[in-house]
A = this chain, B = another copy of it.
């Protein structure tokens, strides 16, 4: 069986940067899971003694605190900065950007719309920068019956689909005098998605590697499923099942933006074992 990796896959710029920061910050605690990948978080704990706090309380006496890649809410960051702790900000610059935009635009009296999942830590962080309440939506339907006002600024969660973002922009421009559109969708996400689309067209099985909570990994799965009947989302090689590969000729492999290369390599090795 032929195994082929997508042209673009895995770690994005922001995640690579955050891991380098963590590796250089021994004994630190990250505020929130640094990235959406438990295996990598365990590796950082084992090799660099970088632990994870899931809330402000859990940080406890830690002297060094790393801000997670997806960012945290504004007030928590201010509290940490006001403490005597050493604060190392690993927030992806592509996430800092919508945070700044939301702060500036809400101060300039624009109604703020964030296209994204209100439960995602990135979105919670971005939303917290609005001086008034920002609206977080995933579809046009959520805008119905809401007074829109004359001036709207819109940003997107970095990992969202452009086409879905533009459905909301189209709805707004038709109804609002001024819509200030900030395309904060990250190119890395696009590139991994385009490559997954291409690869899934010529594969009869697709293995998508990444955290089951990771929205960008789930999107790679959805895109692959459009073109390929047998697609599996797995976090590590233990989840692989030999039966999946029976009768298959071409196996495509891709990975979400939080998946380290060493996990991908282990999985490919295991697939090879199965199919020799």
List A residues at the B interface (Cβ < 8 Å).
162, 165-166, 169-170, 173-174, 176-183
Contact = CB atoms under 8 A, between A and B. Distances in A.
Enumerate the 9 nearest inter-chain pairs by beta-carbon distance, A residue then B residue, closest first. A179-B181, A180-B180, A173-B183, A173-B181, A178-B182, A166-B170, A181-B181, A162-B174, A177-B183
A166 B173 contact: yes
A173 B180 CA distance: 10
A205 to B, nearest CB: 32
Nearest to A156: B173
A97 to B, nearest CB: 8
A94 to B, nearest CB: 11
Contacts of A165: 173
Contacts of A183: 173-174, 176-179
A93 B162 CA distance: 35
A196 B249 CA distance: 57
Contacts of A177: 182-183
A4 to B, nearest CB: 28
A178 B170 CA distance: 15
Contacts of A170: 166, 169-170
B169 A173 contact: yes
A182 B172 CA distance: 11
